[in-house]
Amino acid sequence: MTFNKRQVKINHWPEKNDKEKQKYSKNRETVKLTLLTLLLLCSICFLFLTLNFPFTIEFTASIPRTCDHNFTVYVYDLPKEFNIGLLQNCRHLNIYTNMCPHVANNGLGQPLHRGRTSWFSTHQFIAEMIFHARVENHPCRTYEPDTADIFYVPFYGGLYASSVFREQNLTKRDELAVRLVNYISGQRWWKRSNGRDHFLAIGRTAWDFMRSSDTDFGANMLMQMPRVMNMSVLTVERQPWNGDNHFGIPYPSYFHPYTSAEMVTWQDKMKNVERPNLFSFVGGPRKGLEKAAIRDELIKQCAESSHCELLKCENGGSRCHNPMTVLGVMARSRFCLQAPGDSFTRRSTFDAMLAGCIPVFFSPHTMYTQYMWYLPDDKRSYSVFMDEKNNTHIEQELLRISENEVVQMREIVIDLIPRLTYAHPNSTNYDLPDAVDIALEALAKQARDSVVVSL
């Protein structure tokens, strides 16, 4: 069938005389000018808001978290000298490092990517700031102290201790801690149970706060004060023998997710990543007879093995301070060797588990006696232990573990990641228990149990 083109007539506009055409054209120009004016006004308004209100616009739905736990926590509003006031002197908070970049973003540090990110270059001794920010926004926080189960005292004791570590005057080292204890023990709610439902969270090891009055070992004597011994003290490393009121919390790693979906995506990635190396070691030599011996042996065995990847940290070790380089080595490995650091524990352990790498320990105090709130009772289900004095055949020992056992252990390690992670303080669509949730729930249970005992 064919069409006669002469029979097909398309009228885009009705026929008009000259006056009608002029009138129509004028109206079109008026409408066009009005629309352009409105568009210009909208652009100016948007620019004004952007310049004067520097927030990030999120286009994903945000669901406020609700308190799903059977407790409430009260946060003391301390005088600023005990926490955020210390940050004004951030360049001198650590005798080795300028802490100004590290105290940014509520202690998360500098973002590793542009825009909104869940990855930060987080300092290993900054947990107290992250903990504070998380509890400030916690759904179980109460502003009514008479209804609180536990009381959080947000003292940045680790940052203060590291700032006065070389102070020759021991009284000077102790003075802020002494003022804090005097202040908090004078509060009405302290007297309810003599501080037994109060707690501190500090980002350094307990050893830094256990100086006796007549020695120079340790920064100050905070944890030796009788009133503090009534409190619970959370630290990244507890004293295993005389620290009945000390409780280990994870060192912060680099991942601080906003949403549960981000965490699940990361876990799935770690489950499926290729791991060509049997084991790896990230670390450098240490001074001191015992520390040097184990470190030297691990570095030697790893360097000599074709199944091991070594990231040696010495002379500044810039690659060891690159989070993605460190996690990359660990993510390519089935097992990660975790020798004690300057003390028993090591931030590297939490980096390794974040990367889904099964930790290999050489001291029970690196993990087993430290983080009981966070780990399975069956130590062999997620880790390997080798005696510190009998580790001459690490590769052979690891090769004896069957592929099926390796897969099962790695699955447990990856399942533990949310519990060992500090979620972003501003997270909303996040409903997995993180390191702070675990600690608060354990503290609340402990406080309730102590009330029952006292009755």
Q: Which string of DSSP letters, residue by residue, matches 207-272?
A: GGG---TT--SSS--GGGSHHHHTSEEEEEE--TTT-TTEEE-PPP-SB--SSHHHHHHHHHHHHH
| pLDDT for res 53 | 28
| pLDDT for res 38 | 56
List beta partners, residue 361: 338, 385
Nearest to 147 by CA among 454, 444, 449: 444
With a cut of 60, say whether residue 428 has pLDDT above it. Answer: yes
Whole-angstrom Cα distance, residue 110 to residue 103? 9
* Strand pairing category for 73-75 and 308-312: unpaired
Residues sharing a CB contact under 8 Å with residue 121, sequence separation 6 or more, in sequence order = 101, 102, 109, 110, 111, 112, 254, 323
Residues sharing a CB contact under 8 Å with residue 278, sequence separation 6 or more, in sequence order = 305, 307, 308, 333, 334, 335, 395, 398, 399
Q: 47 pLDDT band (50/70/90 cuts)?
A: very low
What average pLDDT does the segment 18-38 reach?
52
Q: What would the pLDDT profile of 374-395 be if each residue is shown by its tens digit?
A: 999 999 999 999 987 777 799 9
CA 207 to chain centroid: 21
Buried b (16+ CB within 10 A) or exposed e, 18-34: eeeeeeeeeeeeeeeee
With a cut of 60, say whether residue 45 has pLDDT above it. Answer: no
Cβ atoms of 69 and 440 within 8 Å: the answer is: yes
With a cut of 90, say whether residue 37 has pLDDT above it. Answer: no
| pLDDT for res 389 | 76
Q: 24 pLDDT band (50/70/90 cuts)?
A: very low
- Mapping DSSP onto H, E and C, the string for 104-148 reads CHHHCCEECCCCCCCEEECCCCCHHHHHHHHHHCCCCEECCHHHC
Average per-residue pLDDT for the chain: 85
Highest mean pLDDT among 112-116, 193-197, 216-220: 193-197
Buried b (16+ CB within 10 A) or exposed e, 300-323: ebbeebebbbbbbbeeeeeebeeb
What average pLDDT does the segment 127-133 reach?
98
Q: What would the pLDDT profile of 297-341 be if each residue is shown by its tens digit?
A: 999 999 999 999 999 987 655 788 899 999 999 999 999 999 887
| pLDDT for res 62 | 39
Question: Residue 319 belongs to what H/E stretch?
Answer: none
Residues sharing a CB contact under 8 Å with residue 49, sequence separation 6 or more, in sequence order = none
Question: Residue 303 belongs to what H/E stretch?
Answer: helix 289-304
SS3 325: helix
| pLDDT for res 451 | 63
Whole-angstrom Cα distance, residue 233 to residue 243? 9
**Range of lowest pLDDT (107-116, 283-292, 357-366, 408-417):** 283-292
Q: 422 pLDDT band (50/70/90 cuts)?
A: very high
Cβ atoms of 158 and 202 within 8 Å: the answer is: yes
Residue 379 has which token pair?
Answer: 């130590």
Q: 29 pLDDT band (50/70/90 cuts)?
A: low
* Strand pairing category for 73-75 and 246-248: unpaired
Cβ atoms of 427 and 257 within 8 Å: the answer is: yes
Q: Give, in order, the Cα–Cα distances in Å from 213 to each of 219, 221, 223.
A: 11, 7, 12
Q: pLDDT over 70 for what percent of the chain?
A: 81
| pLDDT for res 387 | 86
| pLDDT for res 171 | 87
Whole-angstrom Cα distance, residue 175 to residue 179? 6
Whole-angstrom Cα distance, residue 13 to residue 19? 15
Whole-angstrom Cα distance, residue 250 to residue 201? 11
Whole-angstrom Cα distance, residue 229 to residue 207? 14
CA angle 408, 413, 415 (to 5 degrees): 95
Residue 16 has which token pair?
Answer: 């008009």
Nearest to 166 by CA among 219, 125, 212, 208: 219
Q: pLDDT over 90 for what percent of the chain?
A: 67
With a cut of 80, say whether residue 410 has pLDDT above it. Answer: yes
What are residue 162's phi and psi, to 5 degrees?
A: -70, -20
With a cut of 60, say whether residue 52 has pLDDT above it. Answer: no
| pLDDT for res 57 | 24
Q: Which string of DSSP letters, residue by residue, matches 384-415?
A: EE--TTS-TTHHHHHHTS-HHHHHHHHHHHHH
